[in-house]
Amino acid sequence: MSEDLALYLDRLAHEGERDSHGTFSVDYVKALEKLSARLFSDPTSWLIKLVQAAVSSGTRQLEVRSHRDRLEVHFNSSGLSSESFHDLQALLHDPLGNEEQPALAHFLRAFHAARVARPQSLGWAIVDQQGGFSYMVHGEEIQRHMLPAQEAAGATCVFSLRPQAGKVGWAEEQKALTGRCALSPASIRWDKRPLNPAVPQVGGQCLLDRLYLSREAGDKLLHLPHLTEFPSLVYDLGHGYKDHYSYGQTVLHQWRSYMARAGHQLWDSQPAPDFQILESDVAQELFGIPKNAYAINHGSIRAGRLEGRNNFYQILYVQYLRNFTMAAEPVRQGRFGLQHPLCARAWLRCPVTPVGDSRLLLQVDGVLLDPLPIELGLAGVRAFVADGTVQTDLSGLVPVRNERIQELERWLLLESNLSKKDLRKALRWGNKYGLNEAAVQRITEVHKLDQDS
């Protein structure tokens, strides 16, 4: 059905026939004051807002299709309905939308942001079991067509943007999606190629990866890439670290969880259940790792191992992860086939060599908001937190630094300090991880590992 809608919108963009017509005008000076310059100054904002509209309306997958002359976004929604779009002209005179319908509010902001770029045309089509509507917008003119109902439940949606002549490629838009939606609960594909989940880059080698597992609904959490995508040298999956002589890009990888208490706005961090890290080798891989096992690392074994099996190849895995939330949609995990990735409430990533200040990146409706500089116990940390309670400006993309942000900052400071003694302990054996005495001393000084804030 979305394929048919896309072809239909493309045909309307070139035809002059109209079943109905009209004109509409929005005072963009006033809209700019209401929605903030942030929304209109970034040419990719319309696409990011459309993702927020789709995610908050219950979609699990978005498909972006790039053509030479236009960009299309396809998704199915359980929260948007054709009834809401029987009069787009009236909707567009209310740039903020209705707070009781966040998906529609995100959509209206996306539409306004797209119009600011003065494209040749904008197309929008939505069809559900009650029927549907398509709109084609050329400047101040709008074409409206009624569409027959579909049999499938939910709504099929297609958004199409045809830019002004002279625009070459969609690199900016693809880069924005890749960065902003790396941990989104919705699977995003660009010309059939998955963009997420992905590992947010923080520079070179990583000093710390600290994950906060959750038992909450997955659509409110960070959807992690498979853990084999960021293997570690040392693991702490509950009560103390374990060095299995594996190779990895991260020095220390920790799991924590939290328990929400009534009336408590933040989370009481606690060690995750002490997951036993099991070790296999290439022979067992051929016959299959045990059922319910989840691989967290695989590859060659570091030199210097003194005890245990030494087959020069290993698979590290854990079992019984179903106690915590995992993504509903499986993602291919290399040689291990389709697996359901873990979800998390928060993820602290700290590079060995910091690049810039520490930043807090909050995820709301599947999109990482503009980063906020924060002060943490380690340097250059990127703290990713899924928190739908934070306030934003009217664009929905800029967090407001208020008491909630301050509480999060204090919590993250405490958590980063808790990792310091674990890092100190691991770095006593820095030579095993390719870090000489001078490098360990430099890391200690840069990250103030000998101090607790």
**Which one-letter amino acid corresponds to residue 374?**
I
Query: Long-range contact list for 87-96, CB < 8 A, 24+ apart?
Result: 88/124, 88/133, 88/135, 88/142, 88/144, 89/22, 89/24, 89/142, 92/24, 92/26, 93/24, 93/26, 95/26, 95/31, 95/34, 95/35, 96/34, 96/35, 96/394
Number of domains in the chain: 2
136 and 212 share one domain: no
Q: Do 432 and 304 form a contact (C-beta atoms < 8 A)?
A: yes
Hunting for tokens 């990583």 — which residue is that?
206
165 and 241 share one domain: no
> Rounded CA gap, 70 and 162, in Å?
4
215 and 279 share one domain: yes
Write down the pLDDT at residue 31.
63
How far apart, in Å, do the first and last CA atoms of the chain sit?
57
173 and 258 share one domain: no
pLDDT band at 25 (very low <50, low <70, confident <90, very high): low
Residue 200, in any domain of the structure: no
Please report which residue ranges of 170-280 form alpha helices under DSSP H.
Answer: 171-180
Write down the pLDDT at residue 185.
96
Residue 163, in any domain of the structure: yes
Residue 451, in any domain of the structure: no
Rounded to the nearest integer, the mean pLDDT of the chain is 87
Count of helices and strands (H, E) across the chain: 10, 25
Q: Do 122 and 114 form a contact (C-beta atoms < 8 A)?
A: yes
Q: Is the pLDDT of residue 17 over 50?
A: no
255 and 295 share one domain: yes
Of 337 and 81, the one with more pLDDT? 81
Picking from 161, 194, 227, the residue at the C-terminal end of a domain is: 194
236 and 357 share one domain: yes
290 and 367 share one domain: yes
226 and 158 share one domain: no
Of 334 and 232, the one with more pLDDT? 232
Q: Of 336, 368, 356, 386, which is closest to residue 211 (Cα–Cα)? A: 386
Q: Label residues 397-435 b or e (16+ Cβ within 10 Å = b).
A: bbbeeeebbeebbebbbebbbebbebbeebbeebebbeb
Picking from 171, 194, 217, the residue at the C-terminal end of a domain is: 194
Residue 236, in any domain of the structure: yes
Please report, for the domain that includes residue 60, its CATH number: 3.30.565.10
Residue 199, in any domain of the structure: no
Per-residue pLDDT reduced to its tens digit, 254-288:
998 865 554 445 555 566 677 889 888 877 777 77
What range does the domain containing 246 cover? 206-446
User: pTM for this one?
Assistant: 0.91
Residue 211, in any domain of the structure: yes
Of 7 and 235, the one with more pLDDT? 235
Q: Distances in Å between the alpha carbon of 136 and those of 14, 123, 146, 251?
A: 10, 5, 12, 53
169 and 245 share one domain: no
163 and 251 share one domain: no
Q: Is the pLDDT of residue 359 over 50?
A: yes
Q: Do 271 and 256 form a contact (C-beta atoms < 8 A)?
A: yes
Residue 421, in any domain of the structure: yes
Picking from 194, 215, 243, the residue at the C-terminal end of a domain is: 194
> Rounded CA gap, 125 and 127, in Å?
7
185 and 210 share one domain: no
Write down the pLDDT at residue 445.
94
* Beta pairing, strands 193-194 & 121-128: unpaired
285 and 420 share one domain: yes
